[in-house]
Amino acid sequence: MATQAEAQVAPPRTTDQRRGQWVSERIFEKITGISRQTLTNWRYKDRKQKRATAPPGFPEYRLFGRTVRYWVGEELAGRTVIEEIAERLKEERLSLESA
């Protein structure tokens, strides 16, 4: 069974021709350095302006139920970078649980 940190990394999209994957806000924040609050503010502005998708130049995101996922293309971060971040998050969670 996958741990919660491993479950945060969405499986790669197979129906899309682009290479990359959907990741959680937390992982996207670690990859790009954009804070989660900034991402939330951008989504709020999109919703207020009744946009169906993010404008050009902004991160692509989708809602899966109440869960937000951001698209990380191959050009932004390779699979190994995402795996490293997921592993780091898992280690952080384990250290917090043991404390």
Number of domains comprising the chain: 1
pLDDT in tens, 35-86: 999 999 999 999 999 988 888 889 999 998 999 999 888 767 665 666 777 7
**Residue 21 pairs with which residues in a beta bridge?**
12, 72
Distance of CA 89 to the CA centre of its chain: 13
C-alpha 22/C-alpha 91 separation (Å) is 21
pTM across the whole model:
0.61
Residue predicted with more confidence, 71 or 92: 71
Domain residues for the domain of 41 are 4-98
pLDDT at residue 42, as a whole number: 93
pLDDT at residue 61, as a whole number: 93
